[in-house]
Amino acid sequence: MKRIGTDIESALKAWLSGVERVVIVGVGNPLRMDDHAGVEVVKALKKKLKNSRVRLFECESVPEDFIEPITDFKPTHILLVDAALLGEKPGFLKLMNPKEIEMIPISTHTLPLSILSEYLVEETGAKVALLAIQPKETGFGEGLTEELSEAVERTASMLAGVLENLLTELKRTARG
C-alpha cells in the first residue's frame, strides 16, 4: 500500500540538482480536511530538518502573503507542497513543473499556484515545482484522513532525507 516509491524520490533528487538554498511552501486550507496536507508536510519537516539553507513556510491558503520572505532568502529552488486532485489513490505524490500546475482543476487559494509559480520564477530565477498530494477528503472539517496522515509523515521523512543528503554533499564539496 506504499504510495511513495523511488520514482518520486528520484524525481526530487533530479529536480534539486544544483540546490544551494531551498524554500518549501506548505499550502492548504485547514478547514478542508486533506486539503491541508501541504502545510502538515511543512510542520513535520520543521521537526525533522534543521538547515540554514532551507526555509519552511506554512502558508495555508494565502501563499502570496509570503512572497517577500521567500524572495528575500534568494532560493535556487522553491517547492510548493499542496493537495491536488490527480485522479489517483489518496496519498499519491506527483512532482509537477509550473506548466503542469495550470492543469489542476480546482484550487482553494486566492491566487492560483500557476500564477504564483510564474511570479516566483521571474522574481528569484529559482527552479519552481509543485509536489502534489492526492487527497481523500476535501469537504469541510478539520484534520487529515488516516491515509493522508500516513502520506504526510512519509513525504516529510523522504524530503528531509533527500535534502540532508544533497546539502551535506554541497557542504562537503564547498570545503574540499
Cβ pair 125, 18 in contact under 8 A: no
Three cell numbers, residue 39: 502545510
Residues 83-96: what's their mean pLDDT? 92
Amino acid occupying residue 89: K
The CATH number that domain 6-170 falls under is: 3.40.50.1450
Banded pLDDT at 172 (limits 50, 70, 90)? confident
Q: Let me know: does 77 contact 25? Beta carbons within 8 Å.
A: no
Strands (E), 68-145: 77-83, 93-96, 127-133
- Tell me what pLDDT residue 54 has: 96
- Per-residue confidence at 176, pLDDT binned at 50, 70, 90? low
The more confident residue out of 53 and 111 is 53
Contact 145, 137 (CB under 8 A): yes
Q: What's the pLDDT at 110? A: 57
Q: Where are the domains of the chain?
A: 6-170
Better pLDDT: 98 or 62: 62
Q: Which pTM was predicted?
A: 0.90
Q: Which residues contact 155 (CB under 8 A, 6 or more apart)?
A: 4, 41, 44, 81, 93, 131, 133
Per-residue pLDDT at 134 exceeds 80: yes
pLDDT at 1 over 50: no
Q: Which residue has the higher pLDDT, 130 or 102?
A: 130
The angle that helices 146-175 and 37-48 make with each other, rounded to 10 degrees, is 50
Beta-carbon contacts of 169 under 8 Å, excluding residues fewer than 6 positions away, are none
- For cell 535556487, what's the residue? 76
**92, 86 contact by CB (below 8 A):** yes
Q: Is 1 exposed, middle or buried (0-12, 13-18, 19+ CB in 10 A)?
A: exposed
29-81 pLDDT, tens per residue? 999 999 999 999 999 999 999 999 999 999 988 888 899 999 999 999 999 99
Q: Are strands 127-133 and 77-83 parallel, antiparallel or unpaired?
A: parallel
